[in-house]
Chain A
């Protein structure tokens, strides 16, 4: 069994703040971190 990665925080998406490089027909992207894996494997007192 492979251990779970610890506290892997992944960016949901990359957003640009520079108007000049945004595509003309793009909508503003709302960046949300919707999932987050955690490992409590062997959290203190736990096996």
Chain B
């Protein structure tokens, strides 16, 4: 089998995900303006501890190798350590994403003592002004404090995860330096118009020129930088970026939300991309293997409107979440198509972009103080 057919194997789907993303809670102490899950308030229908452990048991039987835990802020859950311990004890590795608010000295030491546990701290600016404009007052200091606590606890390498925006493209070198200073790995990911991002995307997403900067930076400096494989739409610019350049949604990975609903990926929290629920008869396994949505995602894609463009093989038409939430058809160009085809369509389009089907944002607080739920 050549590399091509390996990717086509993955596109046809696997009998179980390699890993999956699991948002443990919609509760969050922050209100980031681009939050893909529109988090803030806990949903009363959140999975219970017992239900969460049952999901883990099912994933163990499927031999899912690891889970990527997020939210909201996953450490807000009182059973957070209980859940992640259950996972690791059942040979399912845990990688989790956090804003760092709950990584005090004691928790840092507790996390450092655990087997197979990777941590990713979210940060969207290398200075408080840039970061806090997106993530809220004090969030920069919180994230740095968490990194300091992890370092002091000898946690070992962690990841710093950055959503690339118009305002931090110029800071890529600084992000790399920051990560290097902690012996951490930098991860940069693409902003999608998902969740609260639907409202801020137009002002926040990188400009066309900045996309070229990102592409060049990744080619020149990105050897040790993870990208969430989320910049493959830039491959139309030339030499392909390293990575699988594959959308794994519903094929290799998927998302479980705090209520147990299963979606193709974390960027499409919308009924259109909901495959089922872990609470349905047959559980997660049946959803993964038999849901109509995932079955259709595993069918060979057609280039659709992109068929006449020579770049389709490189860019694969981009990201379905980006298209969906900007109101563009899925079988056409990405809104950030580097040849401008998406932008053309957007200006010509009168379609109203779909709204996220779940919104757990907290009502605006006049005092703007982060609230611990």
Contacts and interface: CB of A to CB of B under 8 A. Distances in A.
Given A45-B255, A47-B118, A36 B3 contact: yes
A36 B9 CA distance: 12
B224 A33 contact: no
B226 A41 contact: yes
Contact of B230 (A1, A7, A44): A44
B224 A40 contact: no
B157 interface: yes
A1 B185 contact: yes
B345 interface: no
A7 B229 CA distance: 12
A22 interface: no
Interface of A, helix, strand, loop or mixed by DSSP: loop
A3 B228 CA distance: 12
Interface residues of B, number: 42
B249 A3 contact: no
Contacts, number: 85
B203 interface: no
Interface residues of A, number: 17
A36 B156 CA distance: 28
B333 interface: no
Contact of B185 (A3, A36, A38): A3
A16 interface: no
B228 A43 contact: yes
B244 A45 contact: no
Interface in B179-213: 185, 187, 189
Contact of B21 (A6, A33, A46): A46
Contact of A45 (B118, B187, B242, B267): B267
B215 to A, nearest CB: 16
B95 A45 contact: no
